[in-house]
Amino acid sequence: MLKTITFACMHFSIAFGVVYLMTGSVLIGGAVALVEPAVNTIAFYFHEKVWQRVERRKQLQLRPNSPIMQA
């Protein structure tokens, strides 16, 4: 759990730092540092769903008697 917390802190810090350096705005840097991880978390959820579907298809193709192999 500590590793997750420290990674989140690092992620927020990097996001804030990059945007602050690009814009000079603490407000924009802070907003991006909060919004970007939230959007990333939602995107990751859908990425995992797609990845699970790809993995299931791979497993079906490996089975010799699967409906995909018989077609």
Q: What is the pLDDT of residues 9-40, one digit of tens each?
A: 999 999 999 999 999 999 999 999 999 988 98
pTM: 0.60
DSSP string computed for 6-56: HHHHHHHHHHHHHHHHHH--HHHHHHHHHHHHHHHHHHHHHHHHHHHHHHH
CB atoms within 10 A of CB 31: 14
Closest of 13, 69, 65, 63 to residue 37, by C-alpha: 13
Tell me the per-residue pLDDT of 42-61, one tens digit each, with 9 for 90 and over: 999 999 999 999 999 988 88
Structural domain boundaries of the chain? 2-70
